[in-house]
Amino acid sequence: MEVSRCCQRRHRLLQTIASEARETASFTGRPVFAPEVMEAMRSVPRHCFVDPELEAAAWDNRPLAIGHGQTISQPFIVALMTDVLAPEPHHRILEVGTGSGYQAAVLAQLAGHVHSLEIIPSLAEAAQARLHRLGHDNVTVHCADGYHGWPEAAPFDGIIITAATPTIPPPLIDQMARGGRLIAPLGSPWDSQMLVVVTRDEQGALTHRNLLPVAFVPLRGEGERASE
Ligand code: SAH
């Protein structure tokens, strides 16, 4: 993409994210996202995470198809979920639903290491190759059913589920560190869902908070079967 046009689109997208943050603040309690989150949204090249024919739309604030009936999330939602997780350089993060690898790349700008789980083998392979090519060497993509989390690397300071699920898989709750957070779109895949944040305090107690109605593609695998 031509450099100056790309810069203008990035700038416009950041402005859109900032204004949507203000407009949704009565739900989210976050009128302004952290500067580090906005910088990650500016610097991760979203157009490298979609097919060439969608490149021109990559800096619009909307979800885009990535094949296999899956989508790369809307940038505002990526920014919001990242801001809620508030990754720090010493944090270990788990993502369920790698998709294109875009959300993982944004998290990896801020966190120590990101483990990302993807159930569709070709998406997992493509995302890992793309992340490596772009220099995100602190992301490891595993082709696995995210229902079970990734116990080998637990506990996680932050867990993000990027597919709709009626309930949070219990293994993911078990893999939250004390002081950790989990964010997930909860609800029926065929309806809108509620973005929910779960916090585990230093004593281990859990609290839930509803953030915003959202629409995600469904979580497959064990989680889908468990809810039938
Ligand atoms: N975070 C992605 C978009 C997620 S779309 C991005 O930034 O591009 C949801 C993804 O979750 C899809 O790629 C889908 O294949 C994957 N998925 C669905 N069920 C899953 C499961 N049980 N375990 C791991 N990945 C899953």
Whole-number pLDDT of residue 1: 58
Give a three-class secondary structure readout of the chain.
CCHHHHHHHHHHHHHHHHHHHHHCHHHHCCCCCCHHHHHHHHHCCHHHHCCHHHHHHCCCCCCEEEECCEEECCHHHHHHHHHHHCCCCCCEEEEECCCCCHHHHHHHCCCCEEEEEECCHHHHHHHHHHHHHCCCCCEEEEECCHHHCCHHHCCEEEEEECCEECCCCHHHHHCEEEEEEEEEEECCCCCCEEEEEEEECCCCCEEEEEEEEECCCECCCHHHHHCC
Q: pLDDT tens for residues 79-121? A: 999 999 999 999 999 999 999 999 999 999 999 999 999 999 9
pLDDT of residue 224 exceeding 90, the answer is: no
Work out the mean pLDDT of the chain and round it to a whole number.
95
Ligand 1 mean position, distance from CA 162 (Å): 6
Q: Reply yes or no on whether 43 is catalytic.
A: no
- What's the mean pLDDT in 58-79? 95
pLDDT of residue 2 exceeding 90, the answer is: no
Ligand 1 mean position, distance from CA 115 (Å): 13
Ligand 1 mean position, distance from CA 24 (Å): 25
Mutate to test the pocket of ligand 1, among 68, 80, 115, 217 (most ligand atoms within 8 A of CB): 217
